[in-house]
Structure 1
Amino acid sequence: MNVTLKQTLAARGLALNPWTGFYFLQSLLINLALGYPFSLLYAVAFTCVLHVLWRAAPRTQKVLIGVYSLVAAFYYPFGQAYGAPNFNTLLALHSTNAEESTEILTIFPWYSYFIALFIFALGVIAVRRKREAKRTWSKIDLLCLLFCIGVAFVRPVQEIAWDGVFRITKIGYPAVRFVHDVAISNQQVLDEKARLAQFAHLKDTWTVLAVKPKYHTYVVVIGESARRDALGAFGGHWDNTPFESSVNGTLFTDYISASGSTQKSLGMTLNRVVDGKPQYQDNVVTLANRAGFQTWWFSNQGQIGEYDTAIASIAKRADEAHFLKNGDFEADKNTKDEELLKMTAQVLSTERTQPQLIVLHLMGSHPQACDRTQGKYANFVTSKETSCYLQTMTDTDQLLSKLYDQLRNSGDSFSLVYFSDHGLAFKERGKSVQYLAHDDKFQQNFQVPFLVLSSDDKTHRVIKARRSANDFLSFFSQWTGIQAQEIATPYRFISNQKAGQVYVTNFQLQKVDYNHLGTDIFDTGTH
C-alpha cells in the first residue's frame, strides 16, 4: 500500500525527493558562508531555485551550484569573522600583502576550514548528480517557480519604504546580494584609489595663519587595533600598562575613532575631510611642512606601493619616510615596533633649529596578536590569542616608556600623543579559539586609547569628556600651535568641554550615531 502511494505521489510530483533536502542544506550553508543574516525564507526560496533549474536547465543548475559552493567554501571563514562583503573587506583585499594574508588565514578556528571543506564536498556531490528522464511539470514545480520569483521581489518592495525607489538590483537572495555587494564595494574602492592617485601629487591647499609651537619636538604614535578596555591605564581589568598608568600627562577615557579599519579610520583622522571625503593632499604632515616643521614618518606597517594606500600617501609627504617592511613576499612579519626607536634615536641625537614632527606607525596589536609577542603572554584570559592581545598592550606601553625617556634625554621640550586607529570585536566568544577581528557593529570597535604627554606635565590627569577622531585636525592645530584657515576649532580639545554628538563611519561608508551601537564586553574569564 505504502509503495503504491509513494509511486502515485512521485508520479504527480508531490513526494519529497531526497535532493530537495540536500539542496535545502546547501542553501542554508551558502547563506551562512556568504556572511548574511540567516533567513529561512531565502533558504527555502533558493532551494526552489535549484529545484526549478534542475527541471528546466540541469547544466545551468550544475554550473550555478558548483560556482557558489566553491565561493562559499572559500569565503566561509571570512564570512564568520567579517560578515558580508563591504567597502572594508574589498579595501583589505586590495591593500593586504602576502604576509598579512597569511596571518589572517591562521587566525580562524580549525573547524571553519572543516565546514568550508564540507560545503565544497556538497557542491561536488551536487555537480555529479545524474540526469533524470524528462517528465511534465507538476503543480509542485510550478509552485516552486512562482515562489522563488515572488520572493525575489520581497526586498526591492521593502526598499521602497526606505527611499521610495524600486530597484530590482536589491534582490535579497544571499547569492545575488553577494555578487551585487562585491561589485558595488569594489567600485567604491577603485573610486577611492583613483581619488588617492589624483590627490597624491597635488600640492596642499593649506592657508597657514599663525605658527606658535610651544614645544620643539612633537611626536605622534599611531597604535594599531588597540581596544581601550584592554589597557589598564584606561579602565581595563589588568594592570598591563604601568607606564601609561603613572606617567604625568593627560589621558582621554572616552576617545572615539573615526572608523573600524586602519585605512578608513586614519584616512578620516589625519586628512582634512570635506563632505565625508578625505582631501589627501591636506593632512597633518603637509600642514606641518607648510608651517616650517621638519617632518619624519617611521612605520612598522607594510608599504605595498608609494601612493596606493591612504596612509602610504600621507607618509610620503614627510621630509623623511622609512618603512621597516616594504610589503613584499619576503617582509618579516615579526619585525618589532621597538625597531622604530633606533630611527627616533638618530633624529633626536642631532640638534636642529626647526620644530620637529615625528610620526610612528606601529603594528601594535594587529591580529594575529601572538605573532607580535612570539606567543608569550603574562595573563591567560579565555584563549591564547586573547592573552597575547593583552600582552601587546604591555609591549606598546614599554615602547612608549622608552620613547618618553629618549625625548627627555634629548634636552629639548617635547609633546607626545598616542592613540589607536580602531578597536576590534571578539569572535568565537568564550571558546578556547576566541580571537579578535575588525568589526563595525559595537562601540568597542571605536573605543581606543588617547593620551598626551608633554615635557612640562606635572600631574597625571584624566579627561572623561567624549572626543572624536573626526576632530583630530582641530586637536593637532591647537597642540602644535599651527593655525590654518581650513581648520575650525570649536572647543578646547584638551579640556572637559563637551564636544557634541559623535558619529562613526561603518564598513558600508555610512555615518552612524555612536550611541546607537551595541556593546562587546571584554570577558575576564580565566578558565
Structure 2
Amino acid sequence: MTATVKSASATRRVAFSLWPGFYFLQSLLINTALGYGVSLLYAAASCCVLLVLWQLAPRLQKTLTGFWTLLAASYYPFGQTWGAPNFNTLLAMHATDVQESAEMLTLFPWHSYAVSLVILALGAVALWRPRTARPRWELLHSAALVFSLVCYFILPVHNYLTGWGLTLLETGYPTGRFVRDVIISNQEVMQEQARMKQLARQKDAWTLVSVKPRYHIYVVVIGESARRDALGAFGGHWDNTPFASRVKGVFFQDYIAASGSTQKSLGLTLNRVVDGKPQYQDNFVTLANRAGFQSWWFSNQGQIGTYDTAIASIARRADEVHFLKDGNFEASKDTSDEQLLKMTAQVLAVPRSQPQLIVLHLMGSHPQACDRTHQQYREFVQSKETSCYLYSITRTDNLLAQLYQQLRDSGESFSMAYFSDHGLALKQRGTAEQYLAHDDAFRQNFQVPFMVLSSDDTRHRLITARRSANDFLHFFSQWTGIKTRELVSKYRFISGEPAGKVSVTSFKLQKVDYNRLGNDLFTGADPKLPGFR
C-alpha cells in the first residue's frame, strides 16, 4: 500500500515537473506572437503567472489561456510582419475593406500559419490538463509569485526613475502591453477620425494672393506601394519602366514619403499640416477649387464612406468624384487601374475654358502584387510575389505612358505629376516565400518615385536634391501658380536647392530623423539572394 502511494506521488511529481517547461514554451510563443519580439524574462514571468493561477484559480487560468491562445494564434502572422499594434495597424483595420482583408491573409508565408497551429495545439493541451486533488502550496509557487510580481513592476519603476511618472498599468508583460496598445491606439484613431470628419465639412481657409497657372491641365497620379529602387527609371536593377526611363521630364532621385502607410502618408502629404496635425479642410483639391480650377478625382481604391478615411475626405472636395470600388463587399471586385483611363479620356475629349485638375489614385503595387498582375510576371526574381511586384511597376509605367499620350492628343498644355504614397520592406528575404509589406523601420519604406512630365519639356532631367512629401503643398502651389498666404515656400521645389533636414512619421506617430533609419536594399548585390541580377 505504501509503495503504491509513493508511486502515485512520484508520478504526480514527474507530471508537475513537466508543466513549468510547457507553460514557459507556451508563454514564449504567445508573447512573441503579439509582436513584441522574444523576451525570455517575460516568458518566464508569464509562465510563473500560469503556475500560480493554476494553484489558486484553475478556471480563471484556463479562461485566460484560451483567450490568449486564440488571440495569439490569430495575430501571429500579422505580428511577424508589422509588429505590435500601434496607430497605423488600428487605422488600417478601420480603413481596410473586405477584398483587402482577404488579400492580406494570402500575403503571409505558410509557416506563419503553421506556428499559429502550434500555438492552438499548445493551448488545447493546456485546456485539457485535468484538475484532480488540490496540490500543496510549495516553495516553487512562492518563488513564482514573487518573481511574477517583480517583473510586473520593472517597467513602471523604470519609467518613474527616468522621469516619466509612475503608471502601474504600463507593464512590460506582452499580454498587458497588447491590451494597452490596442485601447490607446484605437482611441487615437477614433479621435483623429472624429477631428477629420469635423474639419472635412468645414469651409477651407485658403487666402489667395494670385493665380497664374502655366498649363491648362494639371494631373496628379498617386501611386501605391512603389519603392523607388524597384523602378528602372530611378536606379532600380530591372528595366521595368520603359516609358519613364526615356520620356522627357523632371525626375526626383531623392523624394521621401511622409509616412509608411497610405492613409497617414497621404494625410500628411495632401493636407496643410499645423503642429503635426492635418487640416483636412485645407488640401490641394480645395486650394485648386478656390483658385477657380475644375477638379476631378478618379480612384481605384475603396472609399468605404464619404469622410471616414483621410483620402475619401480629400476626394469628396473635388467637383467630380468616381470610385471604382465603394469599399463594401458587393463592390469590392477586382478592378484595374487601366479602367481609370476611360474616365480621363472622357474629360479630355471636351474642351473646357477653366484650368483643370485631374487626380488618379491607383492600386498600383499594393500587396499582394500578384493580384494586381493577375498572377503574371516577366522575369522571375527570388519568389513569385517579388516577380509580380516588379511587373506591377511595369503596368503602372504603361498606364502613365497611355495617360501621357491622352494628354498630348488633347492639344492642350499640360503637366502631369506622379508619386507613390510610400514604399515597402522585403519580408522573408532570400526565401521562396519572399514578399513585400508595409514597414517603418527602413529608408526604403519612404523612398518613392516622383516625376513631373510637362508638354513643354525638352529633356530628361534628374534632380538629386532631397525633397520631402511634407512639402508637397509647396510644390503644388509653385507648380500650379497658385499663391496663398498660408503657404510660404523657403526654396524652389523643382530645383537643385537644398531643402534641409527631413523627418518621417512612424507607425507610432513619432517624428523620426530619416537619416537614422536602416537600409533594406533591393539591389540584387547580396549573394545570398539567388535569382537577383
Q: Same fold (TM over 0.5)?
A: yes
- On the 8 A contact 1:380/1:526 being kept in 2, the answer is no
Answering whether residue 19 of structure 2 is matched by residue 19 of structure 1, we say yes
- What is aligned with 2:171? 171
Map Cα deviations across residues 176-212 of structure 1 (whole Å, 9 max, x no partner). 1100000011101100111111112111011111101
1:504 partner letter: V
- What is aligned with 1:207? 207
Map Cα deviations across residues 236-257 of structure 1 (whole Å, 9 max, x no partner). 0001101111111010010000
- What is aligned with 2:337? 337
Percent identity between the two aligned chains:
65
**Distance across 1 between alignment mates of 2:21 and 2:232:** 52
Answering whether residue 380 of structure 2 is matched by residue 388 of structure 1, we say no
1:493 partner letter: F
- What is aligned with 1:153? 153
**Distance across 1 between alignment mates of 2:333 and 2:44:** 45
- On the 8 A contact 2:430/2:530 being kept in 1, the answer is no
Map Cα deviations across residues 467-495 of structure 1 (whole Å, 9 max, x no partner). 00000011010000001111120100001
**Distance across 1 between alignment mates of 2:429 and 2:183:** 32
Answering whether residue 257 of structure 2 is matched by residue 263 of structure 1, we say no
What is the aligned residue count?
524
**Distance across 2 between alignment mates of 1:457 and 1:523:** 30
- Quote the offset at 1:135 in angstroms: 3.4
**Distance across 1 between alignment mates of 2:203 and 2:6:** 81
2:421 partner letter: D
Q: Single out whichever of 123-132 and 299-308 deviates more from structure 2.
A: 123-132
| Superposition pairs of residues 124-523 of structure 1, within 5 angstroms | 124-160=124-160, 162-522=162-522
**Distance across 2 between alignment mates of 1:6 and 1:444:** 63
- Quote the offset at 1:37 in angstroms: 1.8
- On the 8 A contact 1:6/1:15 being kept in 2, the answer is no
Label 1:260 to 1:23 Cα distance change in 2 as closer, same or farther (>3 A). Answer: same
- Quote the offset at 1:136 in angstroms: 3.2
Unaligned ranges ≥5, structure 2: none
**Distance across 2 between alignment mates of 1:402 and 1:450:** 18
Unaligned ranges ≥5, structure 1: none
Label 1:480 to 1:404 Cα distance change in 2 as closer, same or farther (>3 A). Answer: same
**Distance across 1 between alignment mates of 2:167 and 2:10:** 40
1:360 partner letter: L
- On the 8 A contact 2:34/2:79 being kept in 1, the answer is yes
**Distance across 2 between alignment mates of 1:183 and 1:10:** 45
**Distance across 2 between alignment mates of 1:72 and 1:81:** 14
- On the 8 A contact 1:99/1:331 being kept in 2, the answer is no
- What is aligned with 2:80? 80
Label 1:5 to 1:463 Cα distance change in 2 as closer, same or farther (>3 A). Answer: farther
Map Cα deviations across residues 282-324 of structure 1 (whole Å, 9 max, x no partner). 0000000000000000000011011110000100000000001
- Quote the offset at 1:19 in angstroms: 1.1
The DSSP-based 3-state class of the residue aligned with 1:107 is: coil
| Superposition pairs of residues 46-85 of structure 1, within 5 angstroms | 46-85=46-85
- What is aligned with 1:110? 110
**Distance across 1 between alignment mates of 2:159 and 2:10:** 40
The DSSP-based 3-state class of the residue aligned with 1:73 is: helix
The DSSP-based 3-state class of the residue aligned with 1:448 is: coil
Map Cα deviations across residues 316-366 of structure 1 (whole Å, 9 max, x no partner). 000000001111112354311011011011111111111000000000000
2:149 partner letter: I
- Quote the offset at 1:138 in angstroms: 1.4
- On the 8 A contact 2:326/2:332 being kept in 1, the answer is no
- On the 8 A contact 1:29/1:119 being kept in 2, the answer is yes
Q: Single out whichever of 466-475 and 124-133 deviates more from structure 2.
A: 124-133
2:204 partner letter: D
- Quote the offset at 1:415 in angstroms: 0.5
Map Cα deviations across residues 357-378 of structure 1 (whole Å, 9 max, x no partner). 0000000000000001011111
